[in-house]
Amino acid sequence: MPVDEPEQRRFCTAQWNELYRKWKSGIAKRILDALEAKAADLNYRTVKLETGEAQREAVGFYKKNGYRLIDNFGEYEGCDFSICFGKTL
């Protein structure tokens, strides 16, 4: 089945100290940029993702990188603790 919009999933690291060090070094931004570039290369015009409302750092990261709130989609519809974002490439 063709996919109209790729979904990014499971941006995770093992430990908080490692995450903070990598975040400060810009690795998360470089990974996100690479994923978006690959989606654009595959002729996708938008991407979407889900995170939890408790993941405040993730919410801020995605907003800072041009993602906007969208309606919850797929398995996240009706899920009160999920927050979905989309971005036009």
> Can you give the CATH number for the domain in which 33 is found?
3.40.630.30
Q: Decide if 5 is inside a domain.
A: no
- Per-residue pLDDT tens listing for the chain (89 residues): 456 766 666 665 455 566 666 666 788 888 899 999 999 999 999 999 999 988 888 899 999 999 999 999 999 999 999 999 999 99
Instruction: For strands 46-52 and 7-8, give the pairing.
Output: parallel
Length of the chain: 89
Domain of 25 in residue numbering reads as 14-88
Q: How many domains does the chain have?
A: 1
Using DSSP, state whether 13 is helix, strand or coil.
coil
DSSP string of 35-71, one letter each residue: HHHHHHHTT--EEEEEEETT-HHHHHHHHHTT-EEE-
